[in-house]
Structures are given as structure tokens and as C-alpha cells.
Amino acid sequence: MEEERDPSCKTSASEERVQEWETGLPSATDLTPLSQYLISPELASAFSITAEPFQTMLDVNRASQNTISSLRRQNSGFGDKNFKSLCSFMEDRCGSDEPMVVDEDEVVVDVDGVEKRKIQSVENVEEADSALRMENLNEDCSARTLKRARLVWTPQLHKRFVDVVGHLGIDNAVPKTIMQMMNVEGLTRENVASHLQKYRLFVKRQGPASSDQLFASTPTVPQNMPLASMPYVAPMQPMPMHMGMSGGGNLAPGSYSGFEFHPYGMSREHQGHWPGNKFGPPVVPNSHVSPNNK
DNA sequence: GCCTAAATAT
DNA sequence: CATATTTAGG
């Protein structure tokens, strides 16, 4: 991205650039239809990629709105902090999150805490209808009435958490800041606080030496590295129903046990299946009017 | 209101 | 039993 704008008048120049950008956008006919798959079914099955539920314009528009409002909120919130330089997010789009494997009916919890049922069918259902139904559900019993689903701290989430804590330093590593820096949709301050509590216990017990970055209250590392750039969807369990664990500890695949944690161990490309990940297109730091944003 | 530690729930 | 949520105190 290079700047070619006229330094004399910035505001109007930026407006012009926006217009320029808009006119440069592909027309509707140039875009791949939402209903069209990007890869062939053979390729998909070869890589165990299951087709996403159909997305409609409603989904896309809603995602765009959420993104915009989220950006606005972040911008206003970080104006007077001393680590503006850290906040270089909202630049790039998601790169690594990919749709999870869905076999049959799967309940996914929206950021609003609203359950949506994804019906994966070989032949499609009426997409508009399902979208409308979703919309209605969203509006009817939105957020406040329903209690939030239980958050699952996947290795990915935890890694992001650890990275943020490390880069923030011990002083700034408080739940609210961590939550903001993680930039995870649907993640609440309480979630982070709880996890932070456990994490501190872990660090206290298992040598703090292993996590040396914690003591860098003044982050000396170049923080230009895109840390919290891409939005991430917090995996939620609808309600982790009593799984009858009587004999041995069995874990759901994708969750991890405890904190014996590999600093950078899990760089495998196992990001195929985590519970709760969905969405392909440029989505979505979702935000709604929630009690916890200022 | 926010943060942390402890209690409670799943 | 481990982990996440909720509550309570500062």
C-alpha cells in the first residue's frame, strides 16, 4: 500500500480515494455468486472440507455492519492509550480460519448467544427462508435473555491469549485489555479473566522462566508484527451436556487438557476441525450492543 | 466499573 | 476431576 495522495488537502483527498476505491470494486456480475462453491466437490472431499451452509446477502450485509461497528468501537476506545502502536489491527482479512467439518445438524452459537441450526443438506433448502428465520431468531430472543454458551479454550484461542499477554507485558495484562487485544468475537471480559486466573496459577507453579516475556513490562520486541490482526471466532459449545465420563478422562477432539502447553509446539496444520468455527467469506468481528463494551 | 480470588456449576 | 462461570471482596 503506497500513498499517492496529495499532502495539501487530506480530508477531501481521502474521500476521493474512497470513491476511487469504490469505483474500482468489481460489479455484482463479476463476483462469484454466494451459492457457488469455490472448490470442486472432489477437492473438498479429498481434504475433508465440508460445504458451508449457504450464505445469503442477509448474512453478508449483517457481517459488514458488524465489522463496521466493531471498527468504530475499537477506534474510539483506543484513542488515548499509550500503546496505539500496538493497535495496528483491522488491516487484513482472515487468513487461517476455515470452515469446520460439519456432518449433520450442528448448533452454533452466534455472538449474540443465539442458537442457529445449520442444516447441511446435499440438495439445498430454501436459503432465503432459512436466512430469514435466522434473522427473526436473532431479533426475537437476542442476547440478553439467553445465557451465553460455554467457551472452549482451544489451543488456537489459548495461543492468541498467551501471545497477547506476552506482548502486553505484566502490567497491561488485565482482562479488559487482553480481551480487546485478542479481538475475538464473542469473547467476554469474564472469559478472559477466568482464563487469566488459571493461567497465572499455571505460570506461578510451572516455572515463570518458561514464559519469560511476561516480565517485559516495557515490550522491547518490535510490535509491528501483526499479532492481533485477524478476527477469530470463539468456539462455543451450545451446552456441554453431561458427557458420561465415568472411567477414563476422555476429551472432545479439538479441546485440550490443561496448561501443559507448548510455547510454539502446535504449528501443525491441524486447523481443520475446531468446534464452532464457521464462515468462509470476509467475516466478522461481530458486535452487538452488549453490556460490556464502552 | 474493573480486577482478583474463591465458590459454584457443568 | 478439570475447566468455565459466577460471586464476593477490594
Residue A144 is given by DSSP the state G
3-state secondary structure of A282: coil
Which residue, A151, A130, A175, is CA-closest to A237? A151
Residues in chain A: 294
pLDDT given for residue A234 in this prediction: 63
Kindly report each contact of residues A260-264 with a partner whose C-beta sits within 8 Å and lies 24 or more positions away, as own/partner: A260/A206, A261/A158, A261/A162, A261/A202, A263/A210, A263/A211
CA-to-C1' distance for A141 and B9, Å?
24
pLDDT given for residue A165 in this prediction: 92
CA-to-C1' distance for A193 and C8, Å?
15
Rounded Cα distance between A167 and A181, Å, is 10
pLDDT tens track, chain A, 294 positions: 444 444 444 445 555 555 555 555 445 544 555 555 555 555 555 555 555 444 445 555 555 555 444 444 444 434 333 333 333 333 333 333 333 333 333 333 333 333 333 333 333 344 444 444 444 444 444 555 567 788 999 988 999 999 999 999 888 999 999 999 998 888 999 999 999 999 999 888 876 666 555 444 444 444 444 444 455 666 666 554 444 444 444 544 445 556 654 443 343 333 333 333 333 222 333 333 333 443
CA-to-C1' distance for A211 and C4, Å?
24
φ/ψ of A219, rounded to 5, equals -60, 115
CA-to-C1' distance for A193 and C7, Å?
14
Domains of chain A: 34-79 (no CATH), 155-206 (1.10.10.60)
Nucleotides of C under 7 A from a protein CB: 2-7
Rounded Cα distance between A272 and A49, Å, is 8
pLDDT given for residue A256 in this prediction: 55
In this complex, the nucleotide whose C1' atom is nearest to the CA atom of residue A251 is C2
- Helical spans, DSSP H, in chain A: 10-24, 41-46, 57-77, 127-140, 155-172, 175-182, 189-205
Query: What is the DSSP code string of A16-69?
Result: HHHHHHHHHSPPTTTSPPTTS-SS-HHHHHHTTPPPPPP--HHHHHHHHHHHHH
Question: pTM above 0.85?
Answer: no
Whether A244 sits with its Cβ under 7 A from any strand B atom: the answer reads no
Rounded Cα distance between A119 and A112, Å, is 20
Rounded Cα distance between A88 and A226, Å, is 7
Whether A257 sits with its Cβ under 7 A from any strand C atom: the answer reads yes
Whether A71 sits with its Cβ under 7 A from any strand B atom: the answer reads no
Whether A194 sits with its Cβ under 7 A from any strand C atom: the answer reads yes
Neighbouring-strand partners of residue A106: A118
Joined together, the cell numbers standing for residue A18 give 474512497
Whether A278 sits with its Cβ under 7 A from any strand C atom: the answer reads no
